[in-house]
Structure 1
Amino acid sequence: MKLIIKDILFISRPRFWMYVLGTFLVGVIASGNLFLYGNFTKLLLVIFGVFFTLPANLFIYGVNDIYDYETDIYNNKKIKYETVLQPEKHKKIWLIIVVLFVPFLPLLFLINVPTVIALLVFLFTGLFYSAKPIRAKTKPPLDVVFSSIIYISPALVGFFITGNTNIEWLAVLGGVIWAFGMQTYSAVPDIEADRKAGLNTLATMLGDKKALWFCFLSYFISACIGFYYLGSIAAFFGLVYIVIVLLSLNNSSKLFKYYTFFPLINVAIGALLFFYMFFKSIF
């Protein structure tokens, strides 16, 4: 079976591209004023910005779809809302991922060591979240830990690539805890299908109600850490997510509907955070 460009884009989940590209951009702006970087650094930022679109996302979600096939065939969300990647397409996806990665390999010799480490962490967790022998997504709480690192490590790449290594690790922890909530919330609609397939996740282990309360706690803690660094705007962002979780707890029949709006909410919040930090850095 052939894979056309439309298929490749669909597998890469364009609505989720901003999850890694967005955190990359937040990491960049957290490092300082964009206008003060040299031309070479700016070029690297543009190239890595491109990497965190189709190549990085096809890697994350393509590997996920390859190793999740036996689960996805039971999952109505995958069948109706996304897609089930048939086995005959698996080798082609691997090949396309490699082809997309090859042009970026020389960059490993042009970036500093902290950036290389952050990038390798992204690749390691992105691969072994789904792939064997680790397959972290089936070993709670490794599922939320690996998933969170996948989405936060691009921020470290963006921060370190500018040459700034004076990072606030408490802020990074706040981001990781926020991603705990994001990953767990997205796993709640999959609980029934995952249980049918014998797939263990933190969400299946806790059940839908407890998993949603875990999301509530994650967003509350991350908002508190964010408030320490950013003030009231972080509290507002936290409130948005907390309201979504409370709505889901109050009306579980609409949880999937709320889930479908989640990417838009994440992109909107991410954009507001980026521009807030951008204007703060230049004024």
Structure 2
Amino acid sequence: MSFKSKELLLISRPRFWMYVLGTFLVGMIASGNPFHYDSNTTMLLVVFSIFFSFPANLLIYGVNDIYDYETDVLNTKKVSYEKILSPLKHKKLWFIIGLFTLPFIPFLLFINTPTLYVLLIFIFTGICYSAPPLRAKSKPPLDILFSSIIYISPGLIGYLITGNTNVEWLAILGGLVWASAMQTYSAVPDIDADKNSGVATLATKLGKRNALWFCLIAYIAASVIGTLYVGWVAIVFGIVYAVVVLLSLANSSKVFKYYTYFPLVNIAAGTALFFYLFFKAVY
């Protein structure tokens, strides 16, 4: 069965593109003034900005759709908010994912070794989060570990690809903690479907309220770490995330509704962080 362009676009979840593209761009700008890089570095930044848009997201979410079919058919969120991928299209999607990934392989010859290692980690976690035999998403706490790496590693790639190796590992930890909260919050609306299909996640283990409390604590911890690097930006969005989680705790029946707003909150936070670092680097 063939795919239409619109169908592939929807599989890649455009509303989530900034989760990996955004962190890549934040990592890039955290490394320094982008106008001072040589032509080779600039070329690599452009190429991998393209990769972390449609191709990388098709990889992450396409593999997810292939191996989540049995869970998805039981999930009202998937039926109403997204789309279930027919098993008849699974093999063809693997081929298309490879087709969009292959053009970037020659550029691996031009990146430095640390960047290559982190990129391989991104691809490994992006596939093995959903795909067997590991299928980390069904083995807590590997689910939040792998998901956090998927969303934070592009930022490290953006940082390292410029040749900067002076990594602030506490900032990386803060990012991982933030991503663990994001992943757990997104899993809360899936709790019933995951339980019915026998899929274990941190959210199913903790239950709805405890999972939301975990999210609240993780967002606060990430915000505290963030203040060491970006000051008021971390405080403002730490409050925003805390309010969303507190509303979810107070109105548990509306968690899915709040979840649909989450991409906008994340994009706003990422944009504010990028421009804060941009003006800091340039001026």
Do the two structures share a fold, i.e. TM-score over 0.5? yes
Structure 2 equivalent of residue 229 of structure 1: 229
Structure 2 equivalent of residue 179 of structure 1: 179
Structure 1 equivalent of residue 33 of structure 2: 33
1:217 and 2:217 are equivalent in the alignment: yes
Structure-2 separation of matches of 1:118 and 1:136: 18
- The aligned amino acid for 1:67 is Y
1:14 and 2:28 are equivalent in the alignment: no
Structure-1 separation of matches of 2:271 and 2:121: 25
Q: 1:132 aligns to what SS in structure 2?
A: coil
1:71 and 2:109 are equivalent in the alignment: no
Percent identical among aligned pairs is 63
- The aligned amino acid for 1:263 is P
Q: 1:83 aligns to what SS in structure 2?
A: coil
Q: 1:199 aligns to what SS in structure 2?
A: coil
Structure 2 equivalent of residue 94 of structure 1: 94
What is the 5 A alignment of 1:99-248? Answer: 99-248=99-248
- The aligned amino acid for 1:182 is M
Q: Is the 2:223–2:235 contact (alpha carbons within 8 Å) kept by the matching residues of 1?
A: yes
- The aligned amino acid for 1:140 is P
Structure-1 separation of matches of 2:153 and 2:121: 7
Which ranges of structure 1 fall in alignment gaps of 5 or more residues?
A: none
Shift of 1:228: 1.2
> Which digits, 9 at most, give the CA deviation of each residue in 1:22-76, with x for residues without a partner?
0000000110111111111111101100000110000000000100001000000
Over 6 Å off, 4+ runs: none
- The aligned amino acid for 1:162 is T
Structure-2 separation of matches of 1:165 and 1:111: 13
Structure-2 separation of matches of 1:127 and 1:35: 34
Structure-1 separation of matches of 2:232 and 2:27: 20
1:260 and 2:277 are equivalent in the alignment: no
Structure-1 separation of matches of 2:177 and 2:231: 18
Structure-2 separation of matches of 1:102 and 1:151: 21
Structure-1 separation of matches of 2:73 and 2:122: 28
Structure 1 equivalent of residue 54 of structure 2: 54
Shift of 1:232: 2.0
Q: 1:130 aligns to what SS in structure 2?
A: coil
- The aligned amino acid for 2:198 is G
Report the RMSD for the aligned CA atoms in angstroms: 0.6
1:274 and 2:274 are equivalent in the alignment: yes
Q: 1:101 aligns to what SS in structure 2?
A: helix
Shift of 1:237: 1.2
Shift of 1:2: 2.1
- The aligned amino acid for 1:211 is A
TM-score where L is the length of structure 2 = 0.99
Shift of 1:231: 1.4
Structure-1 separation of matches of 2:233 and 2:89: 45
Say how many residue pairs are matched.
Answer: 283
Shift of 1:17: 0.4
Structure-2 separation of matches of 1:88 and 1:103: 26
Which ranges of structure 2 fall in alignment gaps of 5 or more residues?
A: none
Structure-2 separation of matches of 1:167 and 1:275: 20
- The aligned amino acid for 1:42 is T
Structure-2 separation of matches of 1:49 and 1:65: 24
